[in-house]
Amino acid sequence: MARDAASWTDPNCPVARAVDVIGDRWSLLIVRDAMDGARSFTDFQQRTGIARNILADRLRKLVDHGLIAQVEAPSGKRRVYTLTAVGKDLFPVIVTLRQWGERHAFEAGETRSVLVDEHGAVVPQVVAVAADGRPLTSETTSVRKFG
């Protein structure tokens, strides 16, 4: 969905533009559930508990921005949702949010889920690294404006 630069919260900031597209609670949970296999409107509604009108709005927004597409179901009786390459590109973001939540949003001993790979091993922490492999932090990076 093409947008006029004036319609962005901060037209020059990639973080602000990303938040404009997926920064609300429900959109991220819909993307998370699509990554976990949700396909139908009912799947998303049952997994999130989101009100139907809000779900319809968020799905429409995610489709408009190219993160999710509607495709014909294998049965041919209805349409289902599937992540596009753009939506799948959010996987590292979801993993990083999940890992932050695992570290900071639970009390010690509180029941929670964890992300595992296809062999059942817990996914290692996602860490931003420099070209030479050094871990990066907000103290070792800066923003440069182009254009």
CATH fold for domain 5-86: Arc Repressor Mutant, subunit A (1.10.10)
- Model's pTM, two decimal places? 0.86
DSSP-assigned states of every residue in 38-61 = --SHHHHHHHH---HHHHHHHHHH
Question: DSSP 3-state helix, strand, coil percentages of the chain (rounded to 5)?
Answer: 40, 10, 50
Coil vs helix vs strand at 35: helix
Domain boundaries, the chain: 5-86
Q: In this predicted model, what pLDDT tens digit does every residue of 106-142 receive, in sequence order?
A: 999 999 999 999 999 999 999 999 999 999 999 999 9
27's CB contacts (< 8 A; 6+ apart) are: 21, 58, 61, 62
Cβ–Cβ under 8 Å, residues 31 and 62: yes
